[in-house]
Amino acid sequence: MKGSKLYVGNLAFSVTTVDLKELFSTHGVVENVNVIEGKGFGFVEMSNQAEAENAKKELDGSYFKGRSLRVNPARPPKSRQGGRGGRRY
């Protein structure tokens, strides 16, 4: 696994950034948490790769607020370039 940012999926819609920070802080130092409200997922950035790997190993598939969590390394955002290309008149 490369990097220390994790994708956390299948969250209950009631989960807050505070909830997620408390959960992940038992596995290392949490640098940043971002919960996407109403979408059921979020991102957690740990202080280093080893802590991120440990958190993934321990929390992936575990139950939190009645839901089975999916924890995976975060992928970089897709480029927003593209489209039709060429000049528009």
Q: What is the average pLDDT value for the chain, to the nearest integer?
A: 91
Residue 60 has pLDDT above 80, yes or no: yes
Q: Is residue 49 part of a domain?
A: yes
Q: In what order do the strands lie in the sheet with 5-9?
A: 30-36, 41-46, 5-9, 70-73
Q: Is residue 9 part of a domain?
A: yes
What are the tens digits of pLDDT across the range 7-33? Answer: 999 999 999 999 999 999 999 999 999
> Are 47 and 55 within 8 A, CB to CB?
no
Predicted local confidence at residue 77, as pLDDT: 76
Predicted local confidence at residue 49, as pLDDT: 96
Q: Is residue 84 part of a domain?
A: no
Q: Is residue 77 part of a domain?
A: no
Q: What percent of the chain has pLDDT over 90?
A: 78
Q: What is the CATH number of the domain that holds 65?
A: 3.30.70.330
